[in-house]
């Protein structure tokens, strides 16, 4: 497995319940900012094998990108069951629900030292 793919898998595994990340954001975090489509491919081919929380990955507009109605509904239900509010047009408020691994880690470290 390529190092980029390994990083993508690790990042997706660490998205907490009730939060989302975008394909492009994951690509940037994994070290290849222009590789959002590779993130899509990794999710498609490795979600089941690695038990990835695939439903926590959305497009840059905060929308579920799946075209298949059954998969769209599954992702919608999974996100809602974790407390993510889905607005009109299937849009998620990224300012509220987007996970930022670096800032979350910094926040956790700061709180541990206080």
Q: Find the domain containing 99 and state its range.
A: 3-112
Check residue 103 and give its pLDDT. 60
Question: CATH number, domain at 95?
Answer: 1.10.10.10
Hunting for tokens 């089941």 — which residue is that?
48
Give yes or no for residue 108 having a pLDDT over 60. Answer: no
Distances 10 to 16, 69, 88 between C-alpha atoms, Å: 12, 28, 31
Check residue 54 and give its pLDDT. 96
Tell which wins on pLDDT, 15 or 111: 15
Entry pTM: 0.86
Q: How many domains does the chain have?
A: 1
Choose among 27, 7, 20, 29: nearest CA to 84: 20
Query: Average pLDDT, stretch 49-59?
Result: 96
């Amino acid at each position: 497995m390529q190092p980029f793919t390994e990083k993508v898998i690790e990042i997706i595994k660490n998205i907490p319940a009730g939060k989302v990340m975008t394909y492009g954001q994951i690509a940037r975090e994994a070290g290849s900012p222009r590789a959002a489509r590779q993130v899509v491919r990794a999710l498609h081919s490795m979600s089941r094998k690695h038990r990835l929380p695939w439903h926590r990955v959305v497009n840059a507009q905060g929308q579920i990108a799946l075209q298949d109605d059954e998969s769209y509904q599954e992702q919608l239900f999974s996100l809602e069951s974790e407390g993510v509010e889905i607005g009109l047009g299937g849009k998620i408020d990224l300012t509220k629900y987007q996970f930022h691994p670096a800032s979350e880690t910094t926040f956790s470290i700061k709180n541990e030292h206080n």
